[in-house]
Amino acid sequence: MADSVYIVVHPLAGDGRSVVAHVHAEDRALGVAHSFTGVLELLRATGLETADGWPPIRWLGGGPEEWSE
């Protein structure tokens, strides 16, 4: 069974949310996002956007509705 690819967005901290990709059974930090758009930009910049869309995103400590843009 192949390892699934997913993204973990960690709880909001004073300087944004840490975004981590889980790929091939390893976690890799992608950076810090300050908005939902920032999360998508990190995914796009690292090539995780596919023709099928985005990999599943796991929101820890609240989803994008917790951000006020």
- Mark the ranges of the chain whose per-residue pLDDT is less than 50: 1, 69
CA distance 10 to 40: 14
pLDDT at 48 (0 to 100): 82
State both tokens at 31.
């950076």
Q: Does this model's pTM top 0.75?
A: yes
